[in-house]
Structure 1
Amino acid sequence: MFTGLNAFPLTPLAEDGIDEAAFTGLIERLAAAGVDAITALGSTGSYAYLTRTERARTAHLAVAAAGEVPVMVGIGALRTRHVLEAAEDAQRAGAAGVLLAPVSYQALTHDDVYGLYADVTAELSVPLAVYDNPGTTHFAFDDELYAAIAKLPGVASIKIPGVPADPGEARARIDRLRALLPDRVTLGVSGDACGAAGLAAGCDAWYSVIAGTLPQAALAIARPALAGDRAAAHAASERLAPLWEMFAAHGSLRPTAAIAEQLGLVARPCLPLPIRGLGEGERARLAGIVADLGLDG
């Protein structure tokens, strides 16, 4: 679960809550594609916008639909009490692990964040992945904090936000992190444009947004990268450069939702208000990219 390709699907919403049929279809699609793991209720899964009941139901649906593929469930929330409630619900649903981001409204200190992970890991019976996503949480980990949290019991992986573009610098960055972390803790790269580079630099996992909607396109990058074929992985990633440019301009959530809507995987609109998705001009541009690249799987 903390190695290989981990796919982060959308949680499509309907007027009265989760679109359960569409969500189940997304999970079944990922399992059939052969991803190594699935993470429900990541940032792409809009966890911060859902009620406890909706999150618990989403976790249950994901585990039920994934079959033999392990499911990790996001448990981030503003209050530690609510994080612990989400963790309890995820474990009851049968999650194989949990993913925790330091969600905040008031700015968090390093002591706050360390205390959060210490409090949560003390109550868990499944492993935890640390979710470093400063673009959404507005909190940036430093290496000292990585090292301290990684020593807590049950911490199994750290999801870093990317690697340097230069291959030598990327490898040096991963090597420095590995020297700070226990052997049991894996490193996972995020930021889909960095997926091939992160795996080539020695990351154990790619925590991927696009894999949650276009698993075959992500597998075309991940499989050669994990097998040591850096050239093939780089070529597969470069092929998706127009998509990565859309992600850079609009974030990953809105373009991913638009692709899923275009392909009929979810109904439109599928995002939680007030998020309204891409405008019509950008949707048309994205539709052209999807068609030109043959991104239908």
Structure 2
Amino acid sequence: MHAISGLSAFPITPSDAEGRVDAEGLRRLLERLASAGVDSIGLLGSTGTYAYLSREERRRAVAIAAEAVDGRVPILVGIGALRTDAAIRLARDARAAGADAGLLAPVSYTPLTDDEVFRHFEAVAGKGGLPLVIYDNPGTTHFRFSPALIGRIARLPGVVAAKCPAPVLEAAAAGVTALRDAVPAGFPVGFSGDWNVTEALIAGGAAWFSVAGGLFPKTCLAITRAVQAGDTAQARALNAELAPLWALFQAHSSLRVVYALADHLGLCRAEPPRPILPLAPEIRDEVVATVRTLNLA
């Protein structure tokens, strides 16, 4: 596959109370992304609640997505698991079902050391048969990569990109530079954390791994394309318009907010997997009212 860059849109994975993926709902979400022209789709990411789905349903979600997208957009698939052997099996499942790359987070219960995480990536890259994206999401895994560890893993055969939390605004340039200096030349380092990403892209980030992009791809593409065109003023202006959405994400979690919005938009009827609860009705009303004031597409 081509080097990962631009907008990678991360949708929810709609499912029923038993954890069975809603095929039609997922197809509607993915068609919205593919038709908008996103650069890749991040299926079964943290927003896609991969950790709450069985191996069978994860495999089924990839197969549904591969059929729906039909080669129009690369599909990056979450393959994180507590055990290395389980992550290897998930990588093989994803590849067989049509994934283009795997998103590997160091999921843990016992806190992991840097060497343990390196060996985990080494094993999955060597035996999983799927190109890997380093998935740094300390808010869910409680493990934070150093630039040195990112650089060490980036040199493994089969590791093709990194997804890192965007630095806070005042540290964007220094944070992006530290990561880019740690990895081989040309190795793509992209960022998540929607409210901070625009500055990380301007500072040299290769990709935006976006929760908002999973619902509003055209809006997020406009920011991404402005950065790629060198129009930083336009990118910042468009990002500033989304400040109310970013505030909702930070106050209530982006996961709960996008579940409410997917339902409001009629794209699918899904609630987050238990024990995660939907937003309370008064907060949902606030979310919907706020989004109605924004020009989102």
2:286 is aligned to 285
2:107 is aligned to 103
Q: Which amino acid letter does the alignment assign opposite residue 57 of structure 1?
A: R
Kindly report structure 1 stretches of 4+ aligned residues shifted beyond 3 Å. Answer: none
Residue 51 (structure 2) pairs with residue 48 (structure 1): yes
**In percent, how many aligned pairs have the same letter?**
46
Give matches, 1:1-297, under 5 Å: 2-16=4-18, 17-67=20-70, 68-166=72-170, 169-267=171-269, 269-295=270-296, 297=297
Partner SS, residue 133 of structure 2: strand
Q: Which amino acid letter does the alignment assign opposite residue 100 of structure 2?
A: A
Q: Which amino acid letter does the alignment assign opposite residue 284 of structure 1?
A: D
Q: Which amino acid letter does the alignment assign opposite residue 62 of structure 1?
A: A
Contact 1:6 1:39 in 2 (8 A): yes
Contact 1:199 1:205 in 2 (8 A): yes
Q: CA offsets, 1:70-119, max 9 Å, x none?
A: 11111001111111111011000121111000011111111211111011
TM-score by length of 2: 0.95
Q: Distance in 2 between matches of 1:238 and 1:277?
A: 27
Partner SS, residue 207 of structure 1: strand
Q: Distance in 1 between matches of 2:7 and 2:197?
A: 10
Q: Distance in 1 between matches of 2:129 and 2:110?
A: 29
> How many equivalent residue pairs?
293
Contact 2:17 2:273 in 1 (8 A): no
Contact 1:35 1:219 in 2 (8 A): yes
Alpha-carbon shift at residue 127 of structure 1 (Å): 1.6
Q: Gaps spanning 5+ residues in structure 2: where?
A: none
Return 175-184 or 252-261, whichever deviates more: 175-184
Q: Distance in 1 between matches of 2:272 and 2:168?
A: 31
Return 252-261 or 218-227, whichever deviates more: 218-227
Alpha-carbon shift at residue 184 of structure 1 (Å): 4.2
Contact 1:156 1:184 in 2 (8 A): no
Contact 1:40 1:71 in 2 (8 A): yes
Contact 2:161 2:189 in 1 (8 A): yes
TM-score by length of 1: 0.95
Q: CA offsets, 1:25-63, max 9 Å, x none?
A: 111110001101001100000000000000000011111
Partner SS, residue 220 of structure 1: helix
Contact 1:8 1:38 in 2 (8 A): yes
Contact 1:59 1:73 in 2 (8 A): yes
Q: Which amino acid letter does the alignment assign opposite residue 191 of structure 1?
A: G
Alpha-carbon shift at residue 200 of structure 1 (Å): 0.4
Q: Distance in 1 between matches of 2:179 and 2:197?
A: 17
Return 177-186 or 35-44, whichever deviates more: 177-186
Q: Distance in 2 between matches of 1:19 and 1:192?
A: 26
RMSD over aligned Cα, in angstroms?
Answer: 1.2
Q: CA offsets, 1:195-229, max 9 Å, x none?
A: 21111010010010110111122112111012111
